[in-house]
Amino acid sequence: MTELNRLTITEARDLLRKREISARELTRACLEQIKLVDPKLNAFITVCAREAHEQADAADARLAAGDAPALCGIPLAIKDIYATRGVRTTCASRILENFVPPYDATVIAKLRANGAVFVGKANMDEFAMGSSTENSAFGPTRNPHNVERVAGGSSGGSAAAVAADECLGSLGTDTGGSIREPASFCGVVGIKPTYSRVSRYGVIAYASSLDQVGPFAKTVRDAAIILRDLAGADPRDSTCSARPVPDYEAALTGDVKGLRVGVPKEFFVSGIEPEVEQAVRAALKSYEAMGARMVEISLPHTSYAVAAYYIVATAEASANLARYDGIRYGLRVDGDNNIELYNRTRARGFGAEVKRRIMLGSFVLSAGYYDAYYLKGQKVRTLIRRDFERAFESCDIIATPVAPTTAFALGEKVSDPLQMYLSDIFTISVNLAGLPGISVPCGFDPQGLPIGLQLIGPPFGEEAILRAGDAFERTGAVKRRAAIL
């Protein structure tokens, strides 16, 4: 049998239900892998070995009683941005270094109810602000395919943990590409659902109109299984949709005959690495061979997406992060008065990138600049959403690269924020429009670094992009490679 930690969720689910393996054995295999490889990767901020074993034993009892939800006994990693009852939740920031929530985020409560096992809290860019997981107060996460390269961000720890077989799946969040980009860089599947498809209650906020919860997994089917358990209405999140949740796994028929695949000309431009374009275009040819039809489309406001995003997102961040004042919870650095307490706490608690984004956001919201920047950014956001609405009149899904490059070297872009921000040029517009998007591995560059194909759907079009991703996966054109550690 394959080493247990290398199983997919689908494989492990079947073996657990047949009682051929136990949840404790599966969990132990993942924890041993973490102990073996994580000193090189730094994918985890907190490893929850004791809690994981307790959850595994409870899952085994449920399995023995014939109570077997799909994720019962499955070891998962949780991005350290989710409130997790009784477990340190840092958001990769010194300002929350010792924060232990007394409650669970809605999606954490759902996973607990379904018997999932949490092996640990995964590393990330501080407050989800970054594209490389180099902004973490606990050190960078490294790419399992080449430890001198980044894992992507901001959910780099969650992606790297799945790629390195430290868990069978994981949770991330995506504000401007923070699931899809690390999935592409690490060679795993990552899906950002439609805004409002999954509750954000208990997710530490970065930009509330953009943040979305989603899973990482080794296969599209595994991602569909996790998403089905995450999605659904939540009265504690007023933005969460009450639309019924379909059976995403049942949508994976393998049939894409007649599917209209939009190919936007704005996403194949100078600056994209030749190997990335070749891999994506080869994937498009695979779809044609399966009976899908390519349709050239235009998304004319794409070039404005990065600028609009860094106005809207930083404005919301400056408001959301005002709550970290050293008084109610988190780090407190005393001063002679309240102003000094605020200044000292925030100066010591926040990292450089978080400070940069708070200052940018405070500026664009300030008197005299609101109309010139924030209001204009919101208008551009509307234009980008309308571009997609027009595009979906002539196609069913849209296919693009996830990122213009494969994983770049650690330290390569840290001193050049603009170049770092441009890493998300192909993903940001999807968040601005609130659409679902998935990254599916579609190849490797000559250095063995993974390349991701992005599939974008209309609102609540998760079934379409999951079906298309699964159909490509079934061609066998790209074989999953074990991480090189």
> Is residue 393 assigned to a domain?
no
- What pLDDT does residue 416 have? 87
Co-location of 344 and 201 in the same domain: no
Q: What is the pLDDT of residue 175?
A: 98
Q: Does 247 lie in the same domain as 152?
A: yes
pLDDT at 227 over 90: yes
pLDDT at 208 over 60: yes
Q: What pLDDT does residue 157 have? A: 98
pLDDT at 423: 86
Q: How far apart are CA 399 and CA 178, in angstroms?
A: 18
Residues 449 and 315 in one domain: no
Residue 81 domain flag: yes
pLDDT for residue 108: 98
Task: Return the pLDDT at 1.
Answer: 53
Please give the Cα distance from 376 to 261 (Å, whole number). 31
Same domain, 45 and 164: yes
CA distance 62 to 21: 14
* Residues 402-458: tens digit of each pLDDT: 999 999 999 999 888 888 888 899 999 999 999 999 999 999 999 999 999 999 999
Q: What is the pLDDT of residues 261-285, one digit of tens each?
A: 999 999 988 789 999 999 999 999 9
Q: Domain residues for 308?
A: 303-360
Tell me the average pLDDT across 25-31: 98
Residue 131 has pLDDT above 90, yes or no: yes
pLDDT on residue 479: 83
Asked if residue 250 is part of any domain, the answer here is yes
Does any domain span residue 268?
Answer: no
Task: Give how many domains the chain has, as a whole number.
Answer: 2
444 CB neighbour count, 10 Å cutoff: 18
Report the C-alpha gap between 395 and 388 in whole angstroms.
Answer: 10
Q: Which of 360, 376, 393 is the last residue of a domain?
A: 360
Per-residue b/e over 308-325, b at no fewer than 16 CB within 10 Å? bbbbbbbbbbbbbbeebb
DSSP state of 375: I
Tens of pLDDT, residues 32-77? 999 999 999 999 999 999 999 999 999 999 999 998 899 999 999 9
pLDDT higher than 90, residue 485 = no
Shared domain check, 82 and 160: yes
DSSP 239-276: TS--SPPP-TGGG--S--TT-EEEEEGGGS-TTS-HHH
What pLDDT, on the 0 to 100 scale, is given for residue 484?
65
Whether 267 is covered by a domain: the verdict is no
Per-residue pLDDT at 366 = 92
| CATH number (domain holding residue 108) | 3.90.1300.10
Q: Tell me if 133 is assigned to some domain.
A: yes
CB-CB contact of 435 with 393 (8 Å): no
Q: Which residues are catalytic?
A: 79, 154, 178
Closest C-alpha to 154, from 209, 411, 108, 171: 171
Please report the pLDDT score of residue 201 as a whole number: 98
Summarize the confidence of residues 18-29 as an average pLDDT. 98
How far, in Å, CA of 245 to CA of 363, rounded? 40
The answer to whether residues 104 and 188 belong to one domain is yes
Residue 357: per-residue pLDDT: 97
Q: What is the C-alpha radius of gyration for the chain, rounded to an integer number of angstroms?
A: 21
Q: Are residues 250 and 307 in the same domain?
A: no
Q: How far is residue 273's CA from residue 411's CA, in Å, rounded to a whole number? A: 19
pLDDT for 67 equals 86
Residues 315 and 447 in one domain: no
d(CA 320, CA 144): 33
Instruction: Report the alpha-carbon distance of residue 75 to residue 73 in Å, rounded.
Output: 6
Average pLDDT over residues 302-311: 96
Among 321, 336, 360, where does a domain finish? 360
Residues 470 and 353 in one domain: no
C-alpha span between 432 and 455 (Å, rounded): 16
116 found inside a domain = yes
pLDDT digits (tens, 9 = 90+) for 70-128: 999 999 999 999 999 999 999 999 999 999 999 999 999 999 999 999 999 999 999 99
Tell me which of 286-300, 379-393, 418-432 is least confident.
418-432
Whether residue 197 sits in one domain with residue 114: yes
Q: Which of 105, 93, 112 is nearest to 45 (CA)?
A: 93
pLDDT at 367: 87
Q: Do 137 and 236 sit in the same domain of this protein?
A: yes
Spatial CB neighbours of 281, under 8 Å, sequence gap ≥ 6: none
**pTM for the complete prediction?**
0.97
Q: Using an 8 Å Cβ cutoff, are 85 and 48 in contact?
A: no
* pLDDT class of 393 with cuts at 50, 70, 90: very high
How would residue 329 be classed by pLDDT, with cut points 50, 70 and 90?
A: confident
Asked whether residue 367 is domain-assigned, the answer is: no
| Percent of the chain at pLDDT exceeding 70 | 99
